[in-house]
Amino acid sequence: AQSVTQLGSHVSVSEGALVLLRCNYSSSVPPYLFWYVQYPNQGLQLLLKYTTGATLVKGINGFEAEFKKSETSFHLTKPSAHMSDAAEYFCAVSHGNNQGGKLIFGQGTELSVKP
């Protein structure tokens, strides 16, 4: 069975500091991995995804994530936090066998950015 663990339900950084949100997954098949962001009172918006190919994936708003199979990780980073990055971030995994679109989510990490 697939699962996702996000380390840290709350992360606080200063504006301009590095953002690192951790995600580890468990999957018996090659996974597809996603990061979604949820701003207050809005739906989940895709930041980036890994399917195949290059393991370093770049997304919107300056975020990127690296798929590390040996570590079963897909951590999200941004070199310099901005106040507008304050939101909840969700890591998710789906089947890598093209037999279903079900997303399995982590519990989410709330990012706050201090001025």
Partner 1 sequence: EPEVTQTPSHQVTQMGQEVILRCVPISNHLYFYWYRQILGQKVEFLVSFYNNEISEKSEIFDDQFSVERPDGSNFTLKIRSTKLEDSAMYFCASSVALAGSETQYFGPGTRLLVL
Sign of CA dihedral 85, 91, 95, 101: negative
CB of 95 to partner 1, least distance (A): 4
Q: Which is nearest to 2 in space by CA: 106, 107, 109?
A: 106
- Give 22 or 49: the residue with its C-beta nearer to partner 1: 49
Q: Contacts with partner 1 in 53-112 (CB under 8 A)?
A: 90, 92, 94-108
Shortest CB 1 distance to partner 1, Å: 12
Q: Which residue spans within the chain are E strands per DSSP?
A: 3-7, 10-14, 19-26, 32-38, 44-50, 56-58, 64-68, 73-78, 87-94, 104-105, 109-114
Q: Which of 42, 54, 70, 115 binds partner 1 (CB under 8 A)?
A: 42
Q: How far is the CB of 3 from partner 1 (least distance, A)?
A: 10
Task: List residues binding partner 1 (CB under 8 A).
Answer: 32, 34, 36, 41-46, 49, 51-52, 90, 92, 94-108
